[in-house]
Amino acid sequence: MFKRLAVYCGSATPEDPRYVALAREVGQTLARRGIGLVYGGGRLGLMGAVANGALEAGGEVIGVIPDALVKAEVANPDCTELVVVADMHQRKAAFTRLSDGFVTLPGGVGTMDELWEAVSWSQLGYHAKPVGLLNAFGFYDKLIEFNHHMAAIGFVRPAHRGIIIAEAELDLLLERMAAHQAPTPITAMDPARL
């Protein structure tokens, strides 16, 4: 099973309260299952909610945050451990190093950056960890459709079409992530067939 999972999510607070409630529930569920949370280290929005949920349930919470955001006073001082890094590149590398997989909740541009980097690194063989997408409330329907479109056109190789594990329910998502088998990375493929 998983010792820790990185959770990618927005630092914004949408008007629809379901998103904050979802993030809190994810944090609580991971903690109840004994799975540590690695996340962006912020106290605002969905980030703050997922951390608070995990902390309320007695879970381990490791925040990874760039120094500039600490200076902007958005860091969560309640984390079990707060890892301060120089920049976003180091942050994403730390997420990969510290976790056994990735769960993406609803979010914006930063969340998309983290998701696609996890997918890209899986394709390249930089990690062999599951990349989960929690498609709550149909938030990611169009992104999933677009991923299928990229594959149908030929921009996603057949071996990599299943990297994103998408489910609407957290329990099913975690179950599928636990059964994950890493795809053959591009670096191990026959160059003549790329």
Report the distance separating Cα 51 and Cα 31, nearest Å.
10
Model-level pTM?
0.95
Q: Is the Cβ–Cβ distance between 46 and 69 less than 8 Å?
A: no
Fill in the DSSP letter of residue 185.
Answer: P
3-class DSSP state of 43:
coil
Q: What domains appear along the chain, each with residue ranges and CATH number?
A: 4-181 (3.40.50.450)
Report the distance separating Cα 47 and Cα 33, nearest Å.
19
pLDDT 10s digits, 2-46: 999 999 999 999 999 999 999 999 999 999 999 999 999 999 999
pLDDT 10s digits, 66-120: 999 999 889 999 999 999 999 999 999 999 999 999 999 999 999 999 999 999 9
CA triple 173-32-75, angle to 5 deg: 90
